[in-house]
Structure 1
Amino acid sequence: MHLNNIFILSVIFGIYCDLCVGQLSCFKKFRRKKNTCGGIIKRHALTTPDECCESRGQGFTQQTAVILSRNQYECTSCKAWKSQTSGQTALKPLNDQFVCYRKHRPKKGECGGRIKRARVTTVKACCEGTGSGFSTSGLDQLGRNRYTCTSCESWEKNQTIPTIPPITTTELPSEWGHWSQCSRTCGSGVRERYRKCTTCDLDDPGNKEIKHCTVHFYCPEPGEWGSWAEWEECSQPCGGGIRRRQRLCDSPEPRHGGADCKGPSEETGLCNEQECKVDGGWMPWTRFGHCSHTCGRGEMLRTRTCTNPAPRGGGQQCVGRSIDARRCEDRKCPVHGGWSDWDPWSSCDSTCGTGKRVRSRACNRPRPDFGGKHCEGSEEEVGTCEHAQPCPVQGGWSQWSYYGPCRAAPCQHGHRLRTRECDSPRPSHGGRMCRGDSVERNPCFNDEGCAVDGGWCDFGLWTQCSTTCLGETGSQTRARACYCPPTQGSGKRCEGESREMRTCEGYRPCRDTPDVDLGN
C-alpha cells in the first residue's frame, strides 16, 4: 500500500504517532510521473517527515524502504505531505470501540473472532498483525460472532478509506430489527431500522429509525481533459506535413480511485498541404536496347525520364532529349544454301532383270554461310533400270514349323518332328533349290500318366522391410513355388518351407527415433 494512503488513514484513525516511530528514509529526488523516489539520505540524519521536507528532501517513507528497481523506492512526496497536514490542527485518537477481527468473510462482507482491544489499538497494528478486518463505533453486530467491518485487504489496497460513522450501540434492543445497509457506498448516506411487530404500522415514525452513515469518506472523482495546447510547428514547409498538440488530464485530475480520462492525450493533423515548386531533373540514361535488326545493320535506342525529380508545383521541365539513337550490327545475316542442277544418271548396276542407277547434285548455289541453313532434301537420287532378260531367283527356306507331339507310348521315349518349305522365295528362272533338310527330328519322352516328383523353383525377391525408421528392427520375407517341375501323378511333393524370413534395419531418420551411431 502506498504511503500517501497510509498517511490519510493515520489522520482519520489517529495513528500518526504510531507510524512516526518507524524507520524514516528521506530522499533527495521525487519523480512525479512514476510516483517514486531516489537518492536516499542517511537514515539517522533526519528522523521525522517535517525534518526531511523542511531541509533538502523531496520525499520520504516511514517504513522500511521498498526498492522497486535501481535507485527507485516507494515513497510519499513532501508536496503531498504538506497538503495533507495543512489545516490538521488536532488529530483525534481512535474511538474506544475500535475492534480488530481475526477472520473476514468476503462473500457476506462481515467479520468474526474479536481480538482483545488491549493488544491491538490501531488499524496498522491490526492489519499488519493477525487481523483480517476491523470496525469502529457505529458498525453493528449482525448475529452471533458476526459484525459489520472493513477488510484489511481493502484498507491495504486503498480501494476504500473507512471513516468513523455516527456512534451506535453494539447491542440492539430486542424490539428493534437490524440496521439496513448504508444507502450510499461513498459520501454521506442513511440507514434505517424498524420495530419488530406484526400488527403495528411500519410507516408510523415511531416504528422507524433513521441515522446518517458513511461507508467510504470520499467518492471516486474521474479525471477530465484540460484544453488542447497550441499546435506544434509543422514538420514540412510545403507538400503536406504533420503537426501535433497535447492535452493533460488535469481539469481535474482523477482522485480517490476515479477513472482516468478517456481518449488520446495527443492529436496529429496535416498542415502546409500546398504543393512545393520543384524543377524537373533527368534520371540517368538507360542501357542501349537491342538492335532493331537481328542481322545486318540496324539501330539501337536508350531513354531517360524527367522524374529525378518530376516537375511539380509550377516547376520547369527538363532541358534536352529523352531518346538517344546509335547504329548497330550484331552479326552478318545468314545465307541459306541452294541446290545445283542434277548430274547425268550413272550406268545400271545389273545386266538382267531390274537394276539401280543414281545421280547427284551439290548445295552450292549459293553455299550456306553465316549460319545459314543447308539445302533441304537429298544430295543423291536412286532410280530403277530394266533389262529384257530376267535374272535367276535362288530358292529360300521358310521358317520352321512348331514341333508336333511326342511320338511314343506313355512313359516311353520317342521323337517329334518339325518341317519347313523352300518357298521364301521359290526358285525360278534357272535359280537353284534350297540346300538342307526340310524335316527335323528331335528325341522326346512321353511323361503322360507318369509319376513326377515336384521341384522347388528359385526364391523370389525379398519383400520391403516392415520398418523404415533408423534404429528400429523389422522383418522381410521371400517365397518359392513347387513347380520346377510340378508334382505329377504319384510323384512326391517338394520338401522344405515355401517361405523364408530374415531381420532388417530401418534406413532413414524418423520422429522420436533414438540416436544411432552410423560411423563414417
Structure 2
Amino acid sequence: MLLWVVQTVLLSARISGGTTPQRQMVECFSNFGVESGSCSSLLGRVSQDDCCLNPRYGFQDDHGKCRSCRPASWSEWSEWSHCTVSCQEGVRQRRRFCYGLGDCEDTEALGNLQTQSCEDQACCPQSGGWTEWGKWGACSVTCRKGSRSRRRMCANPRPICGGNCEGEDTMTEECDTGTCPVHGAWAEWSPWMHCSRSCLTYSMALPTRHRTRNCTNPEPSEKPPGMPCPGQSLDVQDCDNLPNCPVDGGWTLWSKFSECSVTCGVGQRVRLRQCTSPPPQYGGQDCSGDSVERELCNTRKHCPVDGLWSAWTPWGKCVRQNRNITCKTYAGRQMRERSCRFTAWEGKSCPENPGISESRVCYDINKCEMHGKWNEWSEWSLCKPSCGPGAQKTRTRECQVDVSMYTMLVGAKQDQAYFSGKPLELCPKLDEKVRTQPCLHVPKCIET
C-alpha cells in the first residue's frame, strides 16, 4: 500500500504544479504476460509513474528487463523440466518468479527454485556386437549392371537398455551380368520459356511460349541398338492468360485521430488512410508505407488497483470458550487471519471467500505425552540447495502417535478436527530416523 501512496503523492504534485523529483523515463507496454514475464504492445516512452497509473501495464527500463506495474506477487510454478540425464539418477527443476513492484511474501520459505531427484530409465544403454556377414544375395538384374547385398545381425552380444550396434546391418555392391540393349526415354520437359510478349495486344496474334526435352533418360544404345524416343522434342503453347498493364496504388488523405484507447493511464490514438486513390490493379504495386499511424495519449488518471490477500497468519492457540484445553480429549477452536492489501483508486476489494478470518475445530496436544509407532520412510525430499554442488535429499521416519481416543468428526455438522501443537512422542527406540543421499547431476546456479 505504501508504494501506491507514494505514487499518489507524486501524481498530485504534478497536477498541482508542485516540485517533484526527476522522473525515470521507461518504455511503457499495455500488456504484461504473467506466465512469461514479458512485455508486449508498446505504447511509447513515458515516465514510470505515468506508465504505472494502470497496474495491468508493464515497463522496460534502460537495462532492458521487463517489469510489472502490479503489486509484487508470485507467478505459478513452471512445469518440471526434463531430467538432467537420460538414464540412471538425475534431477529436474521448476521455477517461479516474483513480478511487480516491491518484494513477494515467502512465509513458507519456498524460494523461487525447486529441485527433485528423477530417473527416466534405471540403466544406461550398452552397445551390442555384430555377427559375421551372411552370403551375398542374387544380382538385381539379368543384364548390365545391378546390385547385390548381404546382411549381418546385431546379436554378438545383443545390446541392452536400448543400445545398438555401430554401423550398418546391410552391405551392397555392384554386380554386372552382361550387356543389354538400352531403349531411349525422354528426360523431363524443360521449364516453359518466357512468352514472346508480356501483355496481351488484341490487334495481334497471341504470343507463344515453348519448351523442349531430350532423349537422354537414357540415350538409346548403339551396340546392341536401342529404340529411339517416341514423339516430339518441342512443345509450343499460346499465352492467352497474360494480365493487363499494372496500375500502382495511391494513398488517400489521413483521417482524423481517434479518441484515446483508454479512460485511465496511458494509451494510444490512431488515424488511418487507404490505398484507394487509385487502388492497385492488374498486378500494380501496393502503396508504400503504413496505413495506420499511432501516437501516445495520457489521461493523467490513475486506474483502479484491485486488492490482493496477504498470506494467512499461523493458526492461533486451540482453546474452548477462552479456556486452556491442553491434553484434553474435548475439542476447541483456533483462528487465523489475513488482510486485503493494495486496494486503491476505486479498485475491487478481495473476494470474500473464505474471507478475512478462518476457524477450525481442534485438539490441543502441545507437549502432551503420547505413545505411538514408527511409520514407513517418507518420500525423498526436494534437493537442497536447489542448484550447484553439495545438493542433498533426505527422507525420514516419523513417530505416528496414537490418536484413537480423539473424535475426528465433531458436532452436528461433522466438522473435521485438527491437532494443534507438537506432542512429546513416546515411540520405541530407533537407530535410524533420517537418511541423506547426494543429488546427482544438479545444474550450476544461474544469476537471475
More helix by percentage: 1
Higher Rg of the two aligned structures: 1
User: Structure 1 length as normaliser, TM-score?
Assistant: 0.26
Q: Which has the higher contact order (CA 8 A, sep 6+)?
A: 2
More strand by percentage: 2
